[in-house]
Amino acid sequence: MWAVAGGAGFALLEGLLGLLRPAQGVAYQWLDLPLSLLGWVLVATLLSLPRHGERLASGVLLALVLPVLLGSPWWALLGLLGLVIPKVGIAAFASMGLLSAWLHPRESLEQATHPELPGLMLITVDTLRFDHAPGLLGQLPVQAVSAAPWTLPAMDSVMLGVSAVEHGGGREGETGVTRPKGARLAERLKEQGYVNSAWVCNPHLRPELGFDRGFESFVHSDTWRDPVLLRFLVQDRMQRWTGEIPHMWRARDQALVSLAMRDVERGMEGRFVWLHILGPHEYLRDPVQVGADTGELYALAVERSGNDLAALLQAIPSGTRVLLMSDHGESLGEGGLWGHGTDLSDAQLLVPAWVMGMSLPMAEGPVFSWDLPGAVFEGQALTSHPQAPVTGVRGDPQRAALRSASGYQALDLSQGIVLDELDLGPLKGQLEALGYIGFPSD
């Protein structure tokens, strides 16, 4: 009885919190309630099993499983408390869940202070190669040269408006990584009066690395540690077992898109919204299809991201300037290379860019990806350049080149700027565990 009442009450509160405060995790729907109810009743039942041995087993199980699922070691204590004093355990468990949900980043988009300013939206799709771009939107984009073949230095360039050779950020050393200085896009727009919000994923775009600078509201999906996310994790596991396509990665992207959609629906005037989704990056994380052709998996992931973005792109009000682009490409076997961050090559550096809501005079030939936000959002001139300075091979921070139509000519970085390394601390371990540091170059 206690278990059912506790589980039901918690599920209901979770639903209310999820509906009232969608930034708690993912946009919550009433249809989610039955599954959520089932999950919490199950947890509460395990904690209140009558026999000591059963309670011991379930308490240990929960103490092991919950911290993994919910991302915080505190949940282990609750599992143990539940096995010793069941009712107190359930109560503590529910309070902890509510507290964690309550304390999570709120949707805090403030009123636009300068509604006369045109709405601006930057959508970055991770790991999208230029030649796979039509799979995303079905139309040919502008070709841009990214500053670097992986997220951190490439997105530093997008936000700072200078090449990675110039800003020197994203060079990995013994303890951490170099972080560049300078005013970022959101900071510059804020000075103009924009109210900025961001919905992002990818550990390299975490606030610790400076990507939240200038944003009034910055929500990174890694901060979703609350019970609403638990439901998606359970769904993910279930779909793996039943052989359906697991969609945890896609669920996160869809959640980010739906949260950005809320901004769009409120009206874009005077706002700058940044959305980053990871879809194409995750094409090899699909265990159901191991053995399938890698290129096909990649193309499928790109297509899915296009489907995820379709409704949002349609909903963006006219008059909003939209820049949709990628941070870097992906090697799909060219020169025996796979992945990204491993080479200065067109496969990893050529990215697509689409501009909507304004006409941007385009020069012949590729443009610098780091020139695009300034051109679309700040009215700076956009020209094509015969040569692009590129760098950012992981494990070889001194490697740089000038990319031109005829190839890559080595560039000497010895005169380059030297920046202090930011000690990543525990984040380094997380990045390694997720495979974001030491990406295999096989």
Q: Of the listed pieces 42-50, 321-329, 330-338, 372-380, which binds Zn ion according to CB under 5 A?
A: 321-329
Binding mask 9-38 for Zn ion (x = CB under 5 A): ------------------------------
Q: Of the listed pieces 10-18, 111-119, 144-152, 386-394, which binds Zn ion according to CB under 5 A?
A: 144-152
Which one, 46 or 332, has the nearer CB to Zn ion?
332
User: Binder to Zn ion among 48, 100, 151, 235 (CB under 5 A)?
Assistant: 151
Taking the CA atoms of 423, 210, 401 and 294 in sequence, report the sign of the dihedral they define.
positive
Is residue 126 part of the contact set for Zn ion (CB under 5 A)? yes
Which one, 194 or 274, has the nearer CB to Zn ion?
274
Does an H or E element contain 327, and which? Answer: none
Residue 183, Cβ density class (10 Å: 0-12 exposed, 13-18 middle, ≥19 buried): middle
Residue 431 CB, nearest approach to Zn ion (Å): 13
CB 273 within 8 A of CB 264: yes
Gap between the Cα atoms of 272 and 319, Å rounded? 13
Q: Of the listed pieces 137-145, 146-154, 399-407, 426-434, which binds Zn ion according to CB under 5 A?
A: 146-154
Which one, 278 or 297, has the nearer CB to Zn ion?
278
Residue nearest to Zn ion (CB): 151
Which one, 270 or 341, has the nearer CB to Zn ion?
341
User: Tokens 């051109």 belong to which residue?
Assistant: 375
Q: Of the listed pieces 114-122, 190-198, 319-327, 358-366, which binds Zn ion according to CB under 5 A?
A: 319-327
Is residue 330 part of the contact set for Zn ion (CB under 5 A)? no
Q: Of the listed pieces 71-79, 122-130, 169-177, 355-363, which binds Zn ion according to CB under 5 A?
A: 122-130
User: Tokens 């494990």 belong to which residue?
Assistant: 395
Is residue 327 part of the contact set for Zn ion (CB under 5 A)? yes
Planar angle of CA 380, 276, 342, nearest 5 degrees = 90
Residue 46 CB, nearest approach to Zn ion (Å): 39
Which one, 70 or 136, has the nearer CB to Zn ion?
136
Which one, 151 or 197, has the nearer CB to Zn ion?
151
Contacts of 192 (CB under 8 A, 6+ apart): 114, 117
Which one, 126 or 166, has the nearer CB to Zn ion?
126
Does an H or E element contain 356, and which? Answer: strand 350-356
* DSSP category for residue 172: B
Residue 181, Cβ density class (10 Å: 0-12 exposed, 13-18 middle, ≥19 buried): exposed
Q: Of the listed pieces 5-13, 41-49, 121-129, 431-439, which binds Zn ion according to CB under 5 A?
A: 121-129
Size of the residue set binding Zn ion (CB under 5 A): 3
Does an H or E element contain 217, and which? Answer: strand 217-220
For 221-344, strand residue ranges (E) read 271-277, 321-326, 331-332, 338-339
Q: Residue 57's CB: how many other CB atoms inside 10 A?
A: 14
Positions 258 through 277 that interact with Zn ion (CB under 5 A): none
Which one, 27 or 148, has the nearer CB to Zn ion?
148
Biggest distance spanned by C-alpha atoms of the chain: 75
Interface contacts to Zn ion, rule CB under 5 A = 126, 151, 327
